[in-house]
Amino acid sequence: MYDYLIVGSGLYGATFAWFATKAGKKCLVIEKRPHLGGNVYCEEVAGIQVHRYGPHIFHTDDEDVWRFVTQFVPFNRYTNSPLANYKGEMYNLPFNMNTFRQIWGVTTPMEAIAKLDEQRREIRELLAREGVDTPRNLEEQGLSLVGRDLFEKLIKEYTEKQWGRPCRDLPAFIIRRLPVRFTYDNNYFNDRFQGIPVGGYNRLVEGLLAGVECRCGVDFLHSEYRDWRRFAKKLVYTGPLDAFFNHCYGELEWRTLRFETRVLDVPNYQGNAVINYTSHDVSYTRVIEHKHFELFGNAVYGNPRTVVTEEYPVPFLEGMEPFYPVNDGRNDALCRKYKALADAEKDVVFGGRLAEYKYYDMAPVIKNVMDYWKADGEV
């Protein structure tokens, strides 16, 4: 008999297992994939750590979370500074003085502020003429936030590729904010702590799950563990929320990505870890060159080969990995109904991005588990 049966070995399940074990509880982790770690799992290809389910950059402002993860593995100094390629024109992201210089030729913050204000005026005046207070769709929202030039070159077609629909047909809430910086600073995140585990995320997961009994290739929903009370006092479920309840109210929608990964016989393919392709000309949204997550400067030339991955957004179909919840009105209403069922489940913890039907970065997932154990008073 276990204290906890933990379904899923992603960061939620693995962190939960660590805290439970520390509190003297006996855990069994079951994982339907053939490996542990969920979406942060890495594979070594051509001597390079490849983030198999999309690039993962750890970032947080929370010192407790940073201290927690760095006890298992040192983190490198990777700083996310993606670029955008629009029909061969290169722009720095997030929007900052470098981007404004590249798109408008302005060089001072005052010039950039004036230009941005002029760009936003068009949509402000249109909405005022039509007696509308707030943007009615994603196109109006994007134009209100950053004006036509930035919206059309760097947001519109990229977002349409991501969602498979024109921005005019997408709800405004998808982009609530578009950070704009009037400094020459290409660091994507504002957080104090950022990096990638040296040697890859598997080392972090191995640290979290050290000494914990784990079984891979076991799908909770189609195994004897479905009758979990026979095995454990409590269940921690990190799989999809609707699947736990046999989709009794219907299916929650997801978006996902298809990855095409190639090994190339060149030492440095694109000079950066992440390049967004923001026009319809190419159907992928990003190209990732994995070695730049772990090698910096001329160290990239130490390995004569490189690994690149193109990311293609696709609608979710049975058998794929669900990545991004579609938090529109229909799905949020459905999710509330499932959450009411979840609340009534005694002795089951629903946690993580699948069971909460919510996009979470890694640090908040870990924080949620830390808070759970603090509130429970067991650690």
Ligand X SMILES: Cc1cc2nc3c(=O)[nH]c(=O)nc-3n(C[C@H](O)[C@H](O)[C@H](O)COP(=O)(O)OP(=O)(O)OC[C@H]3O[C@@H](n4cnc5c(N)ncnc54)[C@H](O)[C@@H]3O)c2cc1C
Cβ nearer to ligand X, comparing 135 with 352: 352
CB of 329 to ligand X, least distance (A): 23
Q: How far is the CB of 310 from ligand X (least distance, A)?
A: 13
Q: Are 99 and 91 in contact (CB under 8 A)?
A: yes
Name the segment binding ligand X (CB under 6 A); options: 63-71, 159-167, 188-196, 360-368. Answer: 360-368
Decide if 361 is catalytic. yes
| Residue 111 annotated as catalytic | no
Query: Does residue 135 belong to the site contacting ligand X (CB under 6 A)?
Result: no
Per CB under 6 A, the list member of 82, 94, 147, 239 interacting with ligand X is: 239
Tokens of 347: 């002795």
Going from the C-alpha of 76 to that of each of 46, 109, 207, 296, the distances in angstroms are 20, 32, 17, 10
Q: Which of 78, 181, 310, 356 is catalytic?
A: 181
Question: What number of CA atoms fall less than 13 Å from residue 296's CA on the CB side?
Answer: 9
Select from 212, 162, 181, 192 the least CA-distant residue to 323.
162
Q: Which residues between 13 and 42 bind ligand X (CB under 6 A)?
A: 13, 30-33, 38-40
Task: Give catalytic status of residue 133 as yes or no.
Answer: no
The reply to whether 370 sits near ligand X by the rule CB under 6 A is: no
Interface with ligand X includes 212 (CB under 6 A)? no
- Is 267 a residue that touches ligand X (CB under 6 A)? no
List helix spans (H) across the chain: 11-22, 63-70, 97-104, 109-129, 138-150, 157-163, 201-208, 241-244, 329-343, 352-355, 362-376
Tokens of 151: 């919206």
Is there a catalytic annotation at residue 258?
no
Task: Determine how β-strand 254-264 pairs with β-strand 324-325.
Answer: antiparallel
How many residues in the shown chain lie near ligand X by CB under 6 A?
Answer: 34
If the CB atoms of residues 86 and 323 are measured against ligand X, the closer one turns out to be 323
Residue 250 main-chain phi, psi, to 5 deg: 115, 175
Does 9 sit near ligand X (CB under 6 A)?
Answer: yes
| Nearer to ligand X among residue 157 and residue 356 (C-beta) | 356
Q: Pick out residues in 297-356 that bind ligand X (CB under 6 A).
A: 323, 352-354
Tokens 């983030």 belong to residue:
51
Specify the pairing of strand 83-86 against strand 274-277. Answer: parallel
Q: Annotated catalytic sites, by residue? A: 177, 181, 255, 286, 311, 359, 361
Binding site for ligand X (CB under 6 A): 7-13, 30-33, 38-40, 54-58, 219-221, 238-239, 257, 323, 352-354, 360-363, 365
